[in-house]
Chain A
């Protein structure tokens, strides 16, 4: 559709279209891309954390544990809970890198 926004994920170079009102994660999933990991899709688990580098968007409710207000202000948000208002450039760092500087859920002993 003509009024869809263009989302660019910087690490993978993937680009996909996102309809107004559609979450960035859902748009990515619908187009068969995997540049952002998919978790609960409900703002609860923090699996799809990204950084928005440029563009405007609205946020739905997200777990405060994964997105405290200061992170939200820096554009560190969950892809399942952001709805673009313009084209967006996002970055999804590989989990291992993201985990090295942030406490994250993991289960190393099970692997």
Chain B
């Protein structure tokens, strides 16, 4: 967080059928619908998040991710980060306050992997859903499905990982928590963070730019991950893989798809990092174990099925 980037703030996901998607993200995953706008977008949040929304769904004829936004600590940091980006040669586009409801102005830019990111400092603070901030109860009643705790991170697939790394690390103040290195030392996966989490954003090398692998949501326990798996079966939701454990981050996970084919993850646990920690390295020859610690074999779907 040394440059003022604080945490993942939101992700805008394109879906083929809006109401099917809303049902998936609310009934199954347990997000809460907080608003809709005149563009027809739907705003959602997980219960422990303090701002009004973290997921925006937009109906389109091609699924995928429009952008991911990071919240910065204040306006002064936002101004400085914009300057730093421009000085580094990154084009920054201004998105006006209110373009997303109850969100302040956003500074939008594209990185060489082909993905669009935003920085913003202000969003309506609505507090955690269903619990008070004074003498709070342990959790809110009335949650549905997987009861996702928070939007946690995204994994993107694209080219130019080194140039993308430079922007995130040297300009935005992220640090490299984990990586996968090829035999020749080329980094083919990078897990970057501004927090103690092993990833606030991750990239895996892929020839086609701008691809979306998954948006991930945090659960509290392994039991919750198993319960999520039960719900995936009960609702006949398209499963990808799991429940299992990752080698990278050591998180316990399950992957599945929303009704438009965007991949979701819910996970618990995982390692922690501080800025003085050296990056954890997985060798590409151990990639199967790095991704799926138990099977130790990659399924082709994980590497190629993207939106």
- B303–A39 touching, CB < 8 Å: no
The binding surface of chain A is classed by DSSP as loop
Among the listed B261, B263, B306, which residue makes an inter-chain contact with A43, where contact means beta carbons less than 8 Å apart? Answer: B261
A27 CB to closest chain B CB (Å) equals 14
A29–B306 alpha-carbon span in the complex (Å): 20
CB closest residue in chain A, given B212:
A44
Q: How many residues from A make CB contacts under 8 Å with B?
A: 21
The segment from A4-12, A85-93, A103-111 that touches chain B is A103-111
The binding surface of chain B is classed by DSSP as loop
- Residues of the A chain whose Cβ atoms lie less than 8 Å from the Cβ of B259: 42
- B211–A44 touching, CB < 8 Å: no
Among the listed A42, A63, A64, A106, which residue makes an inter-chain contact with B304, where contact means beta carbons less than 8 Å apart? Answer: A106
- A64–B62 touching, CB < 8 Å: yes
- Residues of the B chain whose Cβ atoms lie less than 8 Å from the Cβ of A62: 16
Task: With a 10 A CB-CB cut-off, give which of B17, B157, B260 has the most chain A CB atoms.
Answer: B260
- A109–B205 touching, CB < 8 Å: yes
- B238–A65 touching, CB < 8 Å: no
Q: Give residues 260-307 of B contacting A (CB, 8 Å).
A: 260-263, 284, 287, 300-301, 303-307
B114 CB to closest chain A CB (Å) equals 13
Q: Is B63 an interface residue (CB 8 A)?
A: yes
- Residues of the A chain whose Cβ atoms lie less than 8 Å from the Cβ of B204: 107, 110
Known contacts A40-B263, A110-B188; 5 additional CB pairs below 8 A are A41-B257, A42-B261, A44-B16, A63-B63, A110-B206
